[in-house]
Amino acid sequence: MKILVAEDEQRAREGLCELISSLGEKYQIIGSAVNGRDALAMIQDMQPDVVFTDIKMPYMSGLELIRAARKQRLETRFVLTSAYAEFEYAKEAMKLGCDDYILKPPMRSELQKTLDNVEHILKYGSRQEQKNDSLEQQYPQAHKLVRRTLQMIESGYKGNLNQQYIAQQLEVSPEYLSYLFARDIGITFARFIREYRIRQAARLLRKGTSTVKDVAYETGFTDRKYFCKVFHEVMGESVSEYMKHL
């Protein structure tokens, strides 16, 4: 799990980084920022899985950072930190999709629980994300060509769907469609459809009515071994390990 820490107080910043690192090698601190503005730039550049951000920071507060990231559709998860139990801040953070709110300095057990929760969300999605909204409904502000692309992904992901074909159907250049998609969705077309197929595969595995081989074919993979490789890359664990949790 790639983690970024945004905290303007040096002692608090270094202490949180050390505590996270002490919890295990799977937690990788990829950077730290002393203000919200720098943190946003680092999120755009480094694409961390989760950001621990203080509420009050120079140039851009923690809440403003989350709003800016959500506006840009960056797929980073957020945990808000504060030295005080400020309920209104916590309430606002939850509205913005923040995954947790912890007081500084956090206890080791509390931090581990928070990271476990974030890891679960990264793998399975939050309750809000698990709603059966269509892809188009999940990105209402996207360009109309991007929304059409999402419709085609949702209906055709089981087949040999690629960006070249969709661009041809929409009568635009692949380069232009690629630009629009990355701008509005936040990741490339290839990465999106790859992860979407794996999310659908995970959903089928949770149902428990299909074999792994059948799930692979039902989600657009023609080779079981390759499916298992991609599943591990996206989910962070093998298919067999994932199924143990079901």
CA distance 120 to 79: 14
CA distance 107 to 92: 23
pLDDT at 193 (0 to 100)? 93
pLDDT at 45 (0 to 100)? 92
Mean predicted lDDT score pLDDT of the chain: 87
pLDDT at 71 (0 to 100)? 78
Confidence of residue 246 (pLDDT cuts 50, 70, 90): low
Phi (first) and psi of residue 32, to 5 degrees:
-145, 150
The CATH superfamily assigned to 135-244 is Homeodomain-like (1.10.10.60)
Q: Is 90 exceeded by the pLDDT of residue 37?
A: yes
* Closest-CA residue to 50 (of 71, 29, 34): 29
CB 142 within 8 A of CB 186: no
Architecture of domain 2-124: 3-Layer(aba) Sandwich (3.40)
Of the listed ranges 1-10, 30-39, 88-97, 139-148, the one predicted with least confidence: 88-97
Q: Which residues contact 82 (CB under 8 A, 6 or more apart)?
A: 54, 55, 56, 89, 101, 103, 104
Q: Give 207: exposed, middle or buried? Use CB within 10 Å, 0-12, 13-18, 19+.
A: exposed
Residues carrying CATH 1.10.10.60, the chain: 135-244
Q: What is the mean pLDDT of residues 45-55?
A: 93
Q: Which residues contact 233 (CB under 8 A, 6 or more apart)?
A: none
Give SS3 for 14.
helix
Residues carrying CATH 3.40.50.2300, the chain: 2-124
Q: What is the mean pLDDT of residues 82-88?
A: 68
CB 145 within 8 A of CB 172: yes
Name the pairing type of β-strands 77-82 and 28-33. unpaired
The neighbour count for residue 176, using CB atoms within 10 Å, is 12
